[in-house]
Amino acid sequence: MEVLNQQVLQERELRSVTEGWLMDDRVSWQEVAGLAADTHATGCNMTSLLDTVRQFEQEMAVRLGTLPATATAHGGGNDSLAAALKEGLSLDENPQPAPGIRAQSTEAIVDCLEKYHSELNGAVFRTVLNADKILNRTEHTGAMGAFAS
């Protein structure tokens, strides 16, 4: 009878340890899901910021005379800057500065560009940080291990 009691206690202890591991894994995966959701939201924000930066840069190019005003209205132009703007930053087929951009002073546009570049830098940093956290977790503790913050 005593042997059976010891066996039951041992099985309970094993079950308790196993349930603890399962709970840790669940919490860890919830943290990874949260990081993935944050990274997705950051990526969506970066897309919007890039579109805005592209519009401001096109307006600046028009003001500096390196991009004809008709190029933004027709979605391009032969100018190498126009091609670089469209290829490197455009997220839609017919880029055009938002109406409010043209009403702003050149200094205000430069200030906005600096602000958006700073925001993009922060978003990229946050994305890389999230990826590092996920990779650190999977490389050092295994895919189902505890998350080391």
- Which secondary-structure segment (H or E) carries 21? helix 2-64
131 is written with which tokens?
């990826």
**Are the C-beta atoms of 67 and 58 separated by less than 8 Å?**
yes
pTM: 0.51
Tokens of 125: 């940093």
Give the pLDDT score at 107. Answer: 84
Reported as a single tens digit per residue, the pLDDT across 28-40 is 888 888 888 888 8
- List, for residues 15-74, the tens digit of each pLDDT value: 999 999 888 888 888 888 888 888 888 888 888 888 888 888 888 888 887 755 555 444
- The angle at the Cα of 44, spanning 88 to 76, to the nearest 5 degrees, equals 30
